[in-house]
Chain A
Amino acid sequence: MENNRILSINDLHVKFSLRGQVLHALRGISLDVLKGESLAIVGESGSGKSVFVKNLNGLLDNNGWIDEGTIMYYGLPEEPEGINLAQFKTEKDWLRVRGNHIAMVMQDPMTSLNPLKTIGSQLCEALNLHQGLSGALAQAKAVELLRDVGIREPQVRIRQYPHQFSGGMRQRVVIAMAMACSPRVLICDEPTTALDVTIQAQILDLIKDLKQKHHLTTIYITHDLGVVANVADRIAVMYSGDIVEIGTCEEVFYNPQHPYTWALLSSLPQLGKKDEDLFAIAGTPPNLFFKVRGDAFAPRNPYALAIDFLHRPPYFEVSPTHKARTWLLDPRAPKVEPPPAIKAIGNLKPGGEQV
């Protein structure tokens, strides 16, 4: 397991200064990303999942900083002992890993492409910067990249502008751009949120194929647990700057332990019953300007115990690969059954609904 890691994050704290106040966005995240796996990070908006991956790429906003913790990256051949990304200060440092080691696909393909430049020139720019290719060589490589992501007639398309592409095709171009420098880790930040269901399935398939072909490690970020069942090997559930549950895909879906994971799963419309209210999580996430006491989810949690409001739960191990931060797993805690909708996972009809 030790040699298998490509990224190892240890006790990461990230803070932002906003209007004179300090916001504690990430509250001690520890996570190992294994070589060649596909990890999904799931959580509501505001849970800090995007902030977390921005740290891996040096894209943190200027008012944010890493307060504590290390991010070790083991993919650089000249640094076999790993390199601590948390200590990177300058853009020059970051250029060693950004793009050619860790690349990112952003959420909205409309905003991540330059509308005034052709697809080809945007792709060639990346190739020129990172691999020193220019002219015809870069063109040829760009055509190859576009073909790789399933765009037909790449020779023609390469001379076109982003507005001539549909949403799904645009997202393919963005993926081609991320793949331009053959990275080892591909981070996909909500890659399909802006897309239709049919296109979403195709893009997820494409990322899966690319992962196989180029031996990538992929990190998905999403708020929709339904999406990740198909693509993830492991799932980390985040809530207000903390990983509350992590396990393999099957463990998180078939045997979830944290009440927040239960809540996320039961609010999926696929699990709802017609003419009954869909489960909705009451309340709002905590304000991270203030210090969170106990379990951050406790005020919204119908299963909360008295201790949840006082002490932050540690990780309880369910299996060697599965752990959750909830006092419910303490041997002294009362036995709580997960909601019925959770148990129905595994016998769903096509399109949803429990049998």
Chain B
Amino acid sequence: MKDMNTPICSLRDVSVTFGRGKNRFTAVRNVSFDIMRGETFGLVGESGSGKTTIGRAIIRINPTSSGEIFFKGEKISGNISRELDRMVTQQIQMIFQDPMASLNERAKVDYIVAEGLMNIKKDLSKAQRQELVAKALTDVGLLPEFASRFPHEFSGGQRQRIGVARSLIMDPEFVIADEPISALDVSIRAQVLNLLSVLQKERHLTYLFISHDLSVMRFICDRIAVIHKGQIVELAQGEQLFQHALHPYTRALLSAVPQPDPRREKAKVLDVYDPNVHDYSVHAPTWTEIVPGHFVLANEPELEEYKTRLQKESAQG
């Protein structure tokens, strides 16, 4: 149930800074995008590019220093009322990267999964809670008996499923998945990816999928935004981005994706991105929609170059 016209979450000129005075560091700079209801929105970049910070800013872990974030039309950044804060906590959930580190080792699965309920839905009885936990565990392909075990008794893939169960029990509409599969084995990765897409279909979830690996993105995301040093440099539909990447940084990322094809891979020349290729001394770059749905950060001369390249590529078919 994708609705590409209603945004569920919008960011407008959001910046996040850490530290103050001399140590002030801008992790995210003037980021704007809309995440539509029911889609999977990918955010890709290297470590340190600020992709996780954006995710954390949306669920109000990191305060924004300027700009606004809207969730279902309501402003959720800055000072908001208590009820709204609870609504955000319930409806936006997060899945973390490392299933070894993100689960409380001393708590049983039962408590880990139910912790959110205890804070938000206080009027539930113990039996009701246990029922919900059992249901959440079954939904992610685990057995309800697992509720009485500790995290160390599970394999990496199972732990990540616990992480998914803990976010789903809140019945969210919007899930931020922060590198949910980077710490997993290739074969387990496939299981977790499939689980996420099944759950999306069943529950009409919207995902913000954060990762550094474009090969996974292509498979799961509808639209992809590429972020570099806190700025989004390109945003397009998945296929469009893979076929007609414009920004040199996106092209460098694409060239780094390892291919399971030795002949081609051994002949490959690695594209390394050098920010000095941009000459922004005369023309400052702007965020421009170059063809419908395809945005790129570029200045006037670059835009001309990109346009001719796009025309040439589409002529080639």
Contacts and interface: CB of A to CB of B under 8 A. Distances in A.
A269 B193 contact: yes
Interface stretch (A85-93, A154-162, A200-208): A200-208
Contacts, number: 139
Interface of B: 46-48, 155-156, 185-191, 193-194, 197, 212-216, 218-219, 238, 242-243, 252-266, 268, 270, 272-273
Contacts of B252: 198
B255 A277 contact: no
B224 to A, nearest CB: 11
Interface of A: 44-45, 166-167, 196-202, 205, 223-227, 229-230, 232, 249-250, 253-254, 263-265, 267-272, 274, 277-281, 284, 345-346, 348-353
A197 B254 CA distance: 9
Contact of A280 (B46, B191, B216, B260): B191
A352 B194 contact: no
A351 B250 CA distance: 11
B258 A269 contact: no
Query: Majority SS of interface residues in chain B?
Result: helix
A201 B213 CA distance: 12
A232 B261 CA distance: 11
A274 B218 contact: yes
B190 A267 contact: yes
**Most chain B CB neighbours (cut-off 10 Å) among A205, A225, A264, A270:** A270
Given A197-B212, A198-B253, A353-B242, A229 B260 contact: yes
A284 B263 CA distance: 32
Nearest to A272: B219
A226 B186 CA distance: 10
Nearest to A225: B260
Contact of B212 (A196, A278, A279): A196
A279 B190 contact: yes
B257 A44 contact: no
Contacts of A249: 262
Contacts of B266: 229-230
Nearest to A353: B218
**Most chain B CB neighbours (cut-off 10 Å) among A225, A249, A277, A352:** A352
Contacts of A270: 215, 257-260
List 5 A-B pairs, minimum CB-CB distance, nearest first: A280-B190, A226-B258, A267-B190, A229-B265, A201-B256
Nearest to A222: B186
Contact of A269 (B216, B238, B253, B265): B216
Given A197-B212, A269-B189, A269-B193, A346 B219 contact: no
A351 B258 contact: no
